[in-house]
């Protein structure tokens, strides 16, 4: 039985009547830029994550760009970003002429290694962008402490983690800005591109709203250079249809992760990452060697509400990940490598100062070891068992 990595139709088709009604409502309103649908959706998102303000924007990428612009990040500034992330996190920094300084990652939670970030601070460092990778929060106490100590802005890239939590708070609400993506593969997946940013500061929110529409206030009077970063009302209306179901989607992802973990831990050679080794690759390596681990399962930390945008395995041993990927492909089980090349190794950043690309060894290893398997809420029991059977077979080869 084929198991796709993601099946957007399985989630969207049951809501067809509601989506059609939302489309008809916007169609009949004749309001296709901003307006009540966007405002309503922004209020819903602010409530979902526990933020004072939400600003709907055109994508998760534009949310990061807009946050950086609103915070005044400019040419020559340095911004700390995890090297193991999607391109947008670093790309937006570069687009403003600022320098992305690449930070290593934790082999347990895959998030930014704050000790490495600390070591890379210079007088030019202006901000840090923790990414809540794969749906789990970065270590925000440590990030916020570092930011406070050095007067840095914090932009939380929550593209993969809307509705995830850190010590009881919604991710995205702890820094100066939090950003989200509604790209169709995200947990709150839209019908094309879309995104949002949140913040708790009235003035910053107001400024971001001005920059979202070309920096004009009043209309046609430009005190600032902004862009067109608006979220379409049609997109907002469609996403609003999904929101009442979001808690259920998350619960199903969490249940799938728990099921995979319980079943796969019965298999010799499969272990789960140990939170006690967070941000400590050497301890983790010793434990994996002692356990003769072939596959490492991801772990959600107790203080985090992990929303499992991805369920990402590590395949230990040279060439094992690629062999595993081929093995799953042959069985028509979807999988994907997020991410095969770290940001410090991207061609487009080859001209950044060498110091900004140092010391990302853990991330380099992760890029060669990780692979994400299907975790979407609508997976059937038979599909999950098929995935587990395939992994079990591979380990015993
Ligand atoms: C970590 C991260 N940041 C930013 C983005 C950019 O979001 P979008 O695709 O909506 O522009 C993504 C989406 O893939 C992402 O995964």
The CATH number that applies at residue 61 is 3.40.640.10
What mean pLDDT comes out for the span 97-113? 97
Q: What total number of domains does the chain contain?
A: 2
Verify that 82 and 206 share a domain, yes or no.
yes
Asked whether the predicted pLDDT for residue 280 surpasses 90, the reply is no
Among 92, 155, 181, 342, the mutation site with the greatest number of ligand 1 atoms within 8 A of its Cβ is 181
Average pLDDT on 350-376 reads 95
Task: Examine the domain organization and report whether 223 and 298 are in the same domain.
Answer: no
DSSP secondary structure letter of residue 340: S
Distance 158 CA to ligand 1 centre (A): 9
Residue at 3 is within a domain: no
The CA-atom distances, in angstroms, between 387 and each of 6, 170, 306, 312, 381 are 13, 31, 21, 13, 10
Q: What is the pLDDT of residue 1?
A: 87
The answer, yes or no, to whether residue 17 has pLDDT greater than 90, is: yes
Q: Name the residue range of residue 157's domain.
A: 8-245
- Closest C-alpha residue for ligand 1 atom 8: 60
Instruction: Tell me the torsion sign for CA atoms 119, 77, 49, 299.
Output: negative
Task: Say whether 333 sits in a helix, a strand or coil.
Answer: strand
| Structure tokens, 315 | 């395949």
Give residue 88 CA to ligand 1 midpoint distance, Å. Answer: 6
- Ligand 1: residue of 95, 160, 193 to mutate (most ligand atoms within 8 A of CB) is 160
Are residues 30 and 152 located together in one domain of the fold? yes
- Check residue 16 and give its pLDDT: 98
CA of residue 214 relative to chain centroid, distance? 27
3-state secondary structure of 37: helix
Same domain, 211 and 250: no
pLDDT over 90 (residue 176):
yes
Q: Closest by alpha carbon to 358, among 348, 344, 368? A: 344
Average pLDDT in the 188-196 region? 98
**302 CA distance to ligand 1 centroid (A)?**
25
Q: Is 62 helix (H, G, I), strand (E, B) or coil?
A: helix
How far is Cα of residue 311 from the mean position of the Cα atoms in its chain?
13
Residue 112 has, within 13 A of its CA and on its CB side, a CA count of: 35
Rounded CA separation 381/300 (Å): 22
Task: Provide the whole-model pTM.
Answer: 0.98
My answer on whether 241 and 258 are in the same domain is no
- CATH number of the domain at 286, please: 3.90.1150.10
Which residues are near ligand 1 (CB < 6 Å)? 59-61, 85-86, 88-89, 131, 157, 159-160, 181, 183, 193, 195
Confidence of residue 196 (pLDDT cuts 50, 70, 90): very high
Same-domain status, 260 and 173: no
Each residue's pLDDT tens digit, 204-251: 999 999 999 999 999 999 999 999 999 999 999 999 999 999 999 999
For residue 1, tell me if it sits in a domain: no
The span from the CA of 380 to the CA of 269, in Å, is 26
Q: For residue range 58-97, what is the model confidence (pLDDT) as tens digits?
A: 999 999 999 999 999 999 999 999 999 999 999 999 999 9
Locate the ligand 1 atom nearest the alpha carbon of residue 132 and give its number: 1
Judgement on whether residues 275 and 184 belong to the same structural domain of the protein: no
Task: Note the residue count of the chain.
Answer: 397
325 inside domain: yes
- The mean per-residue pLDDT over the stretch 10-17 comes to 98
Residue 18, both tokens: 């509601």
**pLDDT averaged over every residue in the chain:** 97
Distance 96 CA to ligand 1 centre (A): 17
pLDDT confidence of residue 281: 86
Instruction: Classify each residue of 245-255 as buried b or exposed e, where b means 16 or more C-beta atoms within 10 Å of its C-beta.
Output: ebeebbebbbe
Same domain, 325 and 225: no
- Is 279's pLDDT higher than 90? no
């Amino acid at each position: 039985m084929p198991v796709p990595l993601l099946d957007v139709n399985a989630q969207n088709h049951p809501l067809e009547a509601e989506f059609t009604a939302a489309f008809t409502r916007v169609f009949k309103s004749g309001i296709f830029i901003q307006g009540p649908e966007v405002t309503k959706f922004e209020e819903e998102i602010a409530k979902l994550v526990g933020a004072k303000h939400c600003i709907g924007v055109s994508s998760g990428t534009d949310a990061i760009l807009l946050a950086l612009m609103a915070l005044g990040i400019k040419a020559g500034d340095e911004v700390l970003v995890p090297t193991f992330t999607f391109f947008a996190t670093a790309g937006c920094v570069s687009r403003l002429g600022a320098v992305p300084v690449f930070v290593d990652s934790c082999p347990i939670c895959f998030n930014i290694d704050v000790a490495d970030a600390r070591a890379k601070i210079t007088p030019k460092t202006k901000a840090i962008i923790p990414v809540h990778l794969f749906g789990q929060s970065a270590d925000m106490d440590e990030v916020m402490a570092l930011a406070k100590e050095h007067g840095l802005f914090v932009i939380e890239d929550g593209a993969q983690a809307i509705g995830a939590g850190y010590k009881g708070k919604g991710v995205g609400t702890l820094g100066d800005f939090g950003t989200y993506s509604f790209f169709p593969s995200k947990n709150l997946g839209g019908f094309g591109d879309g995104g949002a940013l949140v913040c708790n500061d009235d003035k910053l929110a107001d400024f971001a709203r001005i920059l979202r529409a070309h920096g004009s206030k009043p209309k046609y009077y430009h005190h600032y250079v902004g862009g067109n970063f608006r979220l379409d009302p049609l997109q907002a209306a469609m996403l609003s249809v999904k929101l009442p179901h979001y808690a259920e989607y998350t619960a199903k992802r969490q249940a799938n992760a728990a099921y995979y973990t319980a079943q796969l831990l019965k298999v010799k050679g499969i272990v789960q990452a140990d939170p006690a080794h967070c941000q400590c690759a050497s301890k983790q390596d010793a434990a994996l060697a002692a356990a003769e681990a072939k596959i490492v399962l991801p772990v959600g930390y107790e203080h985090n509400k992990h929303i499992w945008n991805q369920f990402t395995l590590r395949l230990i041993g040279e060439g094992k990940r690629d062999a595993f990927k081929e093995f799953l492909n042959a069985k028509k089980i979807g999988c994907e490598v997020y991410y095969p090349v770290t940001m410090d190794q991207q061609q487009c950043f080859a001209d950044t100062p060498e110091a900004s690309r140092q010391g990302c060894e853990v991330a380099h290893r992760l890029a060669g070891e990780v692979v994400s398997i299907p975790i979407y809420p609508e997976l059937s029991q038979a599909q999950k068992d098929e995935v587990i059977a395939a992994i079990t077979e591979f380990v015993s080869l």
